[in-house]
Amino acid sequence: MHLVVVVADGYDGRIVPELTLRAKVLDTSGAVLADRPLGFVWHPLLHHYGTDLELAKAGPYRVQVSVEPARMRRHEPTNGDRYEKPVFADIAWLTADRAPPHVDDASRLSFALAQGAAYRRSLATMSDGVAVDGASRRVGDYVVAYAVEFAEGYWYLANGSLKYAARVDESTETNAHVEVSVMDAETGRFLPGLAVTATLYKDGERVGSERAPFMWHPWVYHYGMNWRVRGAGRYALEVAFDRPPYAAADTPTRFPSGGRVRFDAVDIAVGQK
């Protein structure tokens, strides 16, 4: 059987990526039958955390799920001091005594396209209505988009507690924020868990490279990093990323490699939010 665990944001209902989960499966006597980490699963119907299990009977089972504090950076100055504590869920009693419902390929694609359309609407609002500049380009199995804003603060976990990086509000140490989104070209859904690197060039000269970590955002997930650039003007941006550390559940041969794309006309304005 396949154990599916969905972790959604308690405020807005979005699935939260890049978490660390573990699950125990127990029988009615309390004996532990399985104790596994749960990896992220790219799924045509619903992204989730999960693992395949081999169990001797249909149940019932008790499932205990632990979620470690979120380690991603999060843009949300007014409602961001969350995800600081570990979470434990004890779910009893689950059974696996019925066949899964049949979902045809057309329905699967329809669900995935609807999820991608919702994400792209948010991305378009960011690129066209909030950011200084933004654009997108297809490369292989992916669509890569960028948006450039003023430098901005974020929450991060340090020594077991949340901190807010407010230095952008207090100094000019950073003066620009470069955001990158990598999407599945077929459905438009955001791809979490990637190793993304952004490199900026000015007048043909390399300004620098930064690893762009995943950024939780109130309405559009992305990869991003605050920068210190020389000043406002036109830059070139190169985005490189490795293949996802997971296979697509519907098409395991999808995403066989990472990608690289260059945007040659990126307008950057400097400042702090």
If one compares 187 and 249, the residue with the highest pLDDT of the two is 187
Determine which of 43-57, 225-239, 241-255 has the lowest per-residue pLDDT on average. Answer: 241-255
User: 28-32, 41-45, 56-60, 76-80: which has the highest mean pLDDT?
Assistant: 28-32
**Is the pLDDT assigned to residue 204 strictly greater than 70?**
yes
- Give the sign of the dihedral formed by CA 52, CA 39, CA 182, CA 200: negative
If one compares 166 and 119, the residue with the highest pLDDT of the two is 119
**Is the pLDDT assigned to residue 171 strictly greater than 80?**
no
Instruction: Give pLDDT, residue 168.
Output: 55
| SS3 call for 130 | helix
pLDDT band at 167 (very low <50, low <70, confident <90, very high): low
**Is the pLDDT assigned to residue 164 strictly greater than 90?**
no
Q: Say what percent of the chain tops pLDDT 90.
A: 67
Q: Over the chain, what is the mean pLDDT?
A: 91
Strand order in the sheet with 176-184: 133-139, 142-149, 176-184, 222-227, 214-216, 73-74, 154-158, 161-165
If one compares 235 and 95, the residue with the highest pLDDT of the two is 235
- 180 with 239: CB under 8 angstroms? yes
User: Per this entry, what is the length of the chain?
Assistant: 273
| CA 55/CA 62 separation, integer angstroms | 13
Instruction: Give pLDDT, residue 58.
Output: 84
- List alpha helices for 14-141, DSSP H: 105-125
| CA 242/CA 62 separation, integer angstroms | 37
Instruction: Give pLDDT, residue 273.
Output: 75
Instruction: Give pLDDT, residue 145.
Output: 97
Could you report the per-residue pLDDT of 17-55, keeping only the tens digit for each? 999 999 999 999 999 999 999 999 998 888 999 999 998
**Is the pLDDT assigned to residue 170 strictly greater than 60?**
no
For residue 22, the one-letter residue type is R
Strand order in the sheet with 196-202: 205-212, 196-202, 233-241, 259-268
Q: What angle do CA 76, 78, 82 make, to 5 degrees?
A: 65
Could you report the per-residue pLDDT of 177-200, keeping only the tens digit for each? 999 999 999 999 999 999 999 999
Instruction: Give pLDDT, residue 173.
Output: 80
Could you report the per-residue pLDDT of 102-156, keeping only the tens digit for each? 888 888 899 999 999 999 999 999 988 889 999 999 999 999 999 999 998 899 9
Determine which of 62-66, 97-101, 151-155, 218-222 has the lowest per-residue pLDDT on average. Answer: 97-101
For residue 60, say if its preceding peptide bond is cis, omega within 30 degrees of 0.
yes
Q: Within a 10 A sphere around the Cβ of 164, how many other Cβ atoms?
A: 15
For residue 120, the one-letter residue type is R
DSSP letter at 104 equals: -
Structure tokens at 119: 């994400």
